[in-house]
Amino acid sequence: MSDNCLFCKISRGDIPSRKVYEDDELYAFHDIHPIAPVHFLVVPKRHITSLQDVSQEDAGVLGRMTVLLPQLALEQGCRPGPDGGFRVMVNNGADGGQEVPHLHYHVIGGPRPWERD
């Protein structure tokens, strides 16, 4: 973990967050400025700056993140199946809109009544 990284501090518990999930390698927490009814982030506890910086040694934790996302999305209120679902967004680098230089997946979803007939 990095001493100066915002998401490292959050996953260590140095900065409070609304925790969604935690294990030895991963930490998930609610976004402080949600853009949908369900909006949380999943981060590896080990500091990885972005997807541009992953290596073969990161394959295991990235695979675990990918498997965990649907489970957490359902637990947080996303509907299953083709009528439900969720979005996964990863911003990389300044040109990709990344604001915090620590790899994180946004999971966004939940009921959106304003978009339905």
Active-site residue list: 104
d(CA 14, CA 67): 27
d(CA 87, CA 107): 6
The sign one gets for the Cα dihedral 98, 100, 115, 86 is positive
